[in-house]
Amino acid sequence: MKAVFFLLVGLILATAVVAGPLFGSQSSVDEVNECSELTRFKEGYSYTFKYEAETESGIKGAGPGSNMTMTCDIIIEAPERCTNVLKARRCLLENRDLDEEMSAHDLVFRTDKGRIVEVLAHPDEPLHILNAKRGILSMIQLDLEADDVDQNTLNEVSVHGNCSSEMTVTRRDDKQRPRKLQVVTELNNCMLRKQEENMTRWQSFKDIVLNMTVMDKFINSSKTCSYDLKGTTGEFRGIQCEEVHSFWPMNFNSESGVRTFIQQRLISTAIDNLNSYKVDPANTRSTCLRYEHDPKEIGKKADDVTADQAMDILKALVKSSREEVQMESPRLFGRWRAALEGMNNETIHEVFDRAYNCSAYSQTCRDNPDKEKIAREYLLDGLLPCTTMACFSVKNYAIAKGVVPKPLASAWMVTMALQNYPTLELMSEMLRMAQYSPSQITIFPLSIMVHNYWVNNEEIRTAATLPEPIVKTIRYLKSLIGNDCTVSAENERLALIALKAIGNIGEPVERYDQLTFIFSER
């Protein structure tokens, strides 16, 4: 159920998935009274909308697609200026009656010039219900200050995080008031705040691999909202938002992946008079529009995930992808990645073997070869963002065994190398891999790692000795160059790679040569 709401409001893992709540401060009465008179919900009125959300999702090669529909009556009351109350009534999800959950608690929110600046939620509101309502609120957030220009860049907080959107006025009336607008958001670029207890160590893949093409295919999400306005204050006649989430966890095999289309509509059905009343925030908690994770879904502490727990998640993920084709897949994949980061070295090697060769451990896998294929793809791609020593160890093992396609092996190595603060232990492991299998895939990331360590540890620049992993790396690269000009074509290729790697390392090589000369003179 939570995953259904999760995607109906247009937020998929990934993305997220590693973000947590950012609590706003309680607004004082004075602050509320000082808010702008610009508002799309006038005090003393009640606005009723018909809300519809439709999703269509499918995974290529794994059965037919899946469709879901959710409907609600949404009432937004404006009992006082800049303070509104969202009420959800008569909510249905296919044949499931959700009215009880959605209507149990009203949601208070405060606005300023069309932006939602604070959400006041009932403390007993389940997070999956609150997140669904956040998705609806994100639709009705439209900056009034942007009405004066035909094109503008909006930076605001929505259910997806801190997002930058491009707003375009497509039609104005004879009084130059905006009547139709379009807001386009590339959701990949929305930033979500990290949560300490979340065991994943990255905020988004693009923070790690920046401009890697393979990562651009991993998750691609976009959202386009069209607004139809009316009245002197630009009230909503109708809103339609369309989202496309391309979820390619099997990125080295572009024929496999999930694509989800989400269409949400809010159609104004009535505007009624409302007696003003005072909203009491005493029994609420202050939060904002960002999607909020259930702490129970974050995962265990590092090194505390067992092999059986990890395999249970993977089995559910494979079943969801292969048989049910539900929106559960993105959330489960996020849990799977978190589980990989939460295993120690012994456990992750056990899980790798059980997942990659599941036909040797499971009769179900033996009877359904496609399940083993999907399990392998999720295993290999789940390891991509993992930067723990245990993950790196099992990645090296997989590359050495030759079971990883070269593009993915390269991506694995680069995610390790591009860490801002690599450890000497990690460097030693990377060096061991380069010595075992010397190639551009292993040597270039090693050189980047040495350079990053040098940049971020100023004390070693004037130290009498360099750390041993750096010394061993430089010696190894120099040994690949050698002095023999009659070497084979393969050794000549490795020598060129080593020269480029030494160039990547930069100053540490100069420091190594200086120290070597000093010690030789002694």
SS3 letters across 162-221: EEEEEEEEEEECCCCCEEEEEEEEEHHHCECCECCCCCCCCCCHHHHHCCCHHHHCCEEE
pLDDT score, position 259: 64
Residue 160 lies in a domain: yes
Count how many domains the chain has. Answer: 3
Question: At 222, phi and psi to the nearest 5?
Answer: -140, 155
In the numeric block, the tokens 């350079």 are attached to 451
Run of H or E including 402: none
Q: Give 198's pLDDT tier (boundaries 50, 70, 90).
A: very low
Q: Is the pLDDT of residue 219 over 90?
A: no
Measured in whole angstroms, the distance separating CA 280 from the mean position of its chain's CA atoms is 35
Q: Give 482's pLDDT tier (boundaries 50, 70, 90).
A: confident
**For residue 46, what are the β-bridge partners?**
77, 272
- pLDDT (mean) for 401-414: 78
pLDDT score, position 383: 86
Same domain, 307 and 424: no
Q: Is the pLDDT of residue 69 over 60?
A: yes
Residue 444 lies in a domain: yes
Per-residue pLDDT reduced to its tens digit, 435-449:
887 888 788 888 888
User: Which of 297, 323, 338 finishes a domain?
Assistant: 297
**306: helix, strand or coil:** coil
Highest mean pLDDT among 161-170, 214-223, 358-367, 455-464: 161-170
Residues 6+ apart with CB under 8 A from 394: 345, 348, 349, 352, 383
Residue 410 lies in a domain: no
pLDDT score, position 293: 64
d(CA 285, CA 367): 51
d(CA 467, CA 463): 9
Per-residue pLDDT reduced to its tens digit, 293-326:
655 444 444 457 889 999 998 988 887 665 544 5
Same domain, 389 and 442: no
Highest mean pLDDT among 173-187, 367-381, 415-429: 173-187
Q: Is the pLDDT of residue 19 over 60?
A: no
Same domain, 194 and 290: yes
Q: Is the pLDDT of residue 343 over 70?
A: yes
* pLDDT above 90 coverage of the chain, percent: 24
pLDDT score, position 353: 94
pLDDT score, position 430: 84
Same domain, 15 and 129: yes
- pLDDT (mean) for 80-85: 92
Give me the DSSP letters along 220-245: EEEEEEEEEEETTTTEEEEEEEEEEE
DSSP 344: -
- pLDDT (mean) for 413-434: 78
Question: At 419, phi and psi to the nearest 5?
Answer: -65, 140
Residue 433 lies in a domain: yes
User: Which of 297, 314, 330 finishes a domain?
Assistant: 297
Same domain, 277 and 306: no
Question: What tokens appear for 149 in the block?
Answer: 């220009």
Residue 43 lies in a domain: yes
Q: Is the pLDDT of residue 57 over 70?
A: no
Cβ-based burial of 490 (10 A; exposed 0-12, middle 13-18, buried ≥19): exposed
pLDDT score, position 216: 40
**Which of 456-478 are b and which e, b meaning 16 or more Cβ less than 10 Å from the residue's Cβ?**
eeeeeeeeeebbebbebbbebbe
- pLDDT (mean) for 11-23: 30
DSSP 488: -
- pLDDT (mean) for 422-427: 82
d(CA 165, CA 157): 11
Q: Is the pLDDT of residue 269 over 90?
A: yes
d(CA 130, CA 289): 10
- pLDDT (mean) for 13-29: 33
Return the minimum-mean-pLDDT range out of 44-58, 155-169, 246-260, 492-506: 246-260
Q: Is the pLDDT of residue 80 over 80?
A: yes
pLDDT score, position 10: 35
The amino acid at residue 273 is N
Residues 6+ apart with CB under 8 A from 280: none
More confident residue, 138 or 1: 138
Q: Which residues constitute the domain of residue 363?
A: 299-403
pLDDT score, position 234: 86
Residue 387 lies in a domain: yes
Residues 6+ apart with CB under 8 A from 4: 68, 70, 93, 326, 327
- pLDDT (mean) for 55-82: 73
Residue 167 and residue 153 in contact, taking contact as beta carbons nearer than 8 Å: yes
**Which of 386-424 are b and which e, b meaning 16 or more Cβ less than 10 Å from the residue's Cβ?**
bbbebbbbbbbbbbeeeebeeebbbbbbbbbbbbeebee
Run of H or E including 310: helix 307-319
Same domain, 133 and 41: yes
Same domain, 288 and 307: no
Same domain, 327 and 273: no
pLDDT score, position 356: 92
pLDDT score, position 61: 39
Same domain, 274 and 375: no
In the numeric block, the tokens 């084979």 are attached to 488
In the numeric block, the tokens 């290529």 are attached to 60
Q: Nearest CA to 325 among 98, 69, 56, 96? A: 56
Same domain, 306 and 284: no
Residue 411 lies in a domain: no
Return the minimum-mean-pLDDT range out of 232-241, 456-465, 486-495: 486-495
Residue 412 lies in a domain: no
Q: Is the pLDDT of residue 97 over 60?
A: no
d(CA 347, CA 309): 11
CATH number at residue 143: 2.30.230.10
d(CA 154, CA 132): 23
User: Which of 378, 403, 428 finishes a domain?
Assistant: 403
Same domain, 308 and 453: no
Same domain, 293 and 303: no
Question: What tokens appear for 95 in the block?
Answer: 């044949």
